[in-house]
Amino acid sequence: MTILWTIIIGFVIGLIARALMPGRDPAGFIITTVLGIAGALLGSLIGRVLGFYGEGEPAGLILSVLGAILLLVGYRYLAPTTSTSRL
């Protein structure tokens, strides 16, 4: 049951991050979910470094979304773009 909640919460975090970032995303359901889960992990790491969280405490909503936004910026930078124009 824990894995199911992780996937659901990760998807919600990913959706919030994508809604807050303007622009088009080439990401689908799976990338959005992975983005949210990884964002929560990154947010937890940032919170521990800054002293907001102790060892083993999960990240809150704000830092999870912030971590997901940071990962989304990196994803947009590294994701291959498709060109529809032909030379």
Q: Is residue 42 within 8 Å of 18, Cβ to Cβ?
A: no
CA distance 55 to 63: 16
Q: In sequence order, what are the residues at sequence separation of 6 or more whose Cβ sits closer than 8 angstroms to the Cβ of residue 81? A: 26
Task: Give the single-character DSSP code of 27.
Answer: -
**pLDDT at position 83, please?**
56
Whether the pTM exceeds 0.85: the reply is no
Domain boundaries of the chain, sorted by first residue: 28-79
pLDDT tens-digit profile of 32-83? 888 888 888 888 888 888 888 888 777 788 888 898 889 888 888 887 666 5
